[in-house]
Structure 1
C-alpha cells in the first residue's frame, strides 16, 4: 500500500514477512503462524472497540512473546489521534517478556492514515535501552510540529544495534546530534531522512560531522542522508568525509540535489569503491548525470539516478525544488 506521501506500509522487516494481528477474539493461538516466523504488526485501525492497550493484551495472550523476533507498531490510536507515549510505556514495561526481540519499528503509518508531520513520537530512547539485544530499530515521524510530541532521542550506548533508521519529513537536529554522540560500535546501516525546517528538520551539516568523521561508527557500511532541503551542502560534506572510505553504499536520494551537489561529489574523494550510489529524486541536469555515469558506471557502481524532478513554473527554480517526504 502506498500512501499519498510516497511512504509504504512495511511488508518485510528484519528478513521476515509482516503479519498484522487480527483485531478480534479469534483466530485461536494454534491457527496463527509460529511466533518467530513473522514480524508481528499491531494496528488499531481507528477501531473504538480495540484501543491499543486491549490489542497489546490480546497479542501477549495469544502469541508466545518469548519467541517473537520482530515487532511493528502501526496506527495505535482509536478515533481521535493520540501521541505514541502510552504505547511506548506499554512496550518498555513488558520488555522482559520479549527476550528474543531483535527488531522494532515504530509508526508504520501511511499518509491515508496520518500525515507523517502529525506523528507525535515522543522520546524513543527508552524503547532502545529496554532491549539490549536489539539489532534493528526504525521510527517514522517528524519533529516539532507539536511541541509536546517532539521526536526525541538521548545519546545511547548499545552494543548490538546494526540497523538504525529514521523516516521523517522533519528530523530535529537534536536527534541527529544524539545519534552522533551515541556509542553504537556494531552499527552497519544508518538511514536519516532529514526533511525540511517547516516540519522540524533543522539539522545542519555541522550536526552531521560526528557521523561523517568515521571514528564513532567503525563498522558502518551503508549511510543514508536523505530527503533533505540542504542536499547540496550534504553532498559537499560527504565528498571529503572519512566515513565514506568504509562504505559499500551511499544514499543521498529523496532531496533537492542539484548540479552543485553533483559537482561536489565528483570533485571529492573517489567513490569508485562503492557498490551502490542512490541519488533518486534529484534536480540534477542531464549533462551532470552523464558525468556521474561516466565517472562511476565503468567501475561497477550501481547508480540510482532516474529522471530529474520537475520544478518548472517559477522564476526562481530553488523555490520549486521539493523533498520526497515532508508533510
Structure 2
C-alpha cells in the first residue's frame, strides 16, 4: 500500500491509542475530549476487541469523546468488522459528543487494504446523527462468505466529510452515496480501485455526484485511485459539479495523456485553489501544458514525477493502492 498511514491527528485532535487494562498503575489518561481515541486489540496479547471496548467505555468519559479511530480489531486471524459495528451502534447513546469516526485505521504492515473484511457501515451512519466526519478504509471484495463493504442510501443532516479508502470500491456503494441526502457534505473522497478487488464502478455510476445537484455544499471532490482515471477525467471535464468546487483530486490512478487532454479542452479549472494529479502517466508535454494553463499563480497543481510504464514491455499502468 502507498498513500496510507496512521494519522497523527484526526478531526483536529492528536491521536492517542488507548492502553489495555494492564497499563502501568497510576498512568493518567488524557482528558476525554482532548484527543482522538484509537482502539486496537491485535497487538495487546490475548485481549480481544470486545473486552478492549468494554475497558474503553468503563475507563473513558465517552460523553466527551469527540473523535474515535478503530485500528486492528482481530487477533491471529483476520475477522469481519461486523461485530465492531454492532458494538458502536449498541453504545451510540453513550457518545453524544462524537463528531468523527475512522473505521479501520489499518496500514499494510497490519493488513493489506483489500484483505480487510469490512461490512455494511450504514448502521453506523444512522446511529450517529451528529457525526461530521467519516472515514472508512477497506475493500469491496467479498473475502469469504461474509458480506463485504456496503452502504445503503441514507439521510444525514450533519455529515460534512465522507471518505472511502479502498483498493476496490463496489459500484453499489458509489450509487448509494449518490442517492443519499447529505445537505451539509463539503468533502467527498472516493478511492475507486480496480476490478480485481471489487472496484467495478463505471463513469455512469458517478453521474449523480458529477451533476452538482446531489450535494449543494460540496467544495472538494476526490475521484481517485482508479484504473479508468482517463474516463473519469473526461467526465469531470464537462461535469456541472466542478463549478462549485474549490479543490479537485484525480490522483493515485492511471491518468494519462488522454485524460489530460480532456481536462485541458474542457471547462475552465482556474477557479480551483488546488488540483491534485499525483501518481500519473502523463507525458512531459501534457504536464507542462497543465502547469502553464493553471499554475503557479492561479491553481496549486500537484503533479509528481510520472510513473514508469511501457506497453511494449508488457508493463501496465497501476493504481497507487490495489492489494
Q: TM-score w.r.t. structure 2 length?
A: 0.97
Within 5 A, what are the aligned runs for 1:54-65?
54-65=51-62
Aligned mates of 2:317, 2:78 — CA distance in 1: 31
Supply the distance in 1 between the matched residues of 2:185 and 2:290 (Cα, whole angstroms): 29
| 2:301 alignment counterpart | 303
Shift in alpha-carbon separation, 1:67–1:27, aligned structure 2, 3 A: farther
Match of 1:135 in 2: 132
- State how far apart, in whole Å, the 2-side matches of 1:53 and 1:32 are: 20
* Selected match of 2:6 from 2, 9, 16: 9
Instruction: Give the alignment partner of residue 212 of structure 1, picking from 199, 210, 213.
Output: 210
Count of aligned pairs:
322
Displacement of 1:11 after TM fit? 1.3
Q: Counterpart in 2 of 1:97?
A: 94
Q: Which residue of 1 is the match for residue 160 of structure 2? A: 162
8 Å Cα contact 1:140-1:168 kept in structure 2: yes
Report how far residue 299 of structure 1 moved.
Answer: 4.7
The residue correspondences of 1:200-239 to structure 2 (distance < 5 A) are: 200-239=198-237
What does residue range 81-92 of structure 1 map to in structure 2 within 5 Å? 81-92=78-89
**Structure 1 residues 27 and 104: alpha-carbon distance in aligned structure 2, compared to 1, 3 A threshold:** farther
- Secondary structure in 2 aligned to 1:55? helix
Q: Cα deviation per residue 1:89-120 (whole Å; 9 max; x = unaligned)? A: 00100000000000001000011111111111
Q: Match of 1:113? A: 110
Point out where structure 2 has 5 or more consecutive residues left out of the alignment.
none
Provide the secondary structure at the position in 1 that maps to 2:146.
Answer: helix
2:316 aligns with 320
Contact 2:42-2:48 within 8 A present in 1 as well: no
Once the two structures are superposed, residues 128-148 of structure 1 have per-residue CA deviations (whole angstroms, 9 ceiling, x without a partner) of 110000000010000124252
Tell me the equivalent position of 1:188: 186
TM-score, with normalisation over the residues of structure 1? 0.95
CA RMSD of aligned residues (A): 1.4
Aligned counterparts of 2:24 and 2:161: Cα–Cα separation in 1: 33
**CA separation in 1, counterparts of 2:141 and 2:3?**
21
3-state secondary structure, aligned to 2:16: strand
Unmatched tracts of structure 1, length 5 or more: none
User: What's the CA shift string for 1:284-317, capped at 9, x where partnerless?
Assistant: 00000000001001552001001100114x4166
Equivalent of residue 268 in structure 1, options 266, 269, 278? 266
Contact 1:272–1:299 under 8 Å retained in 2: no
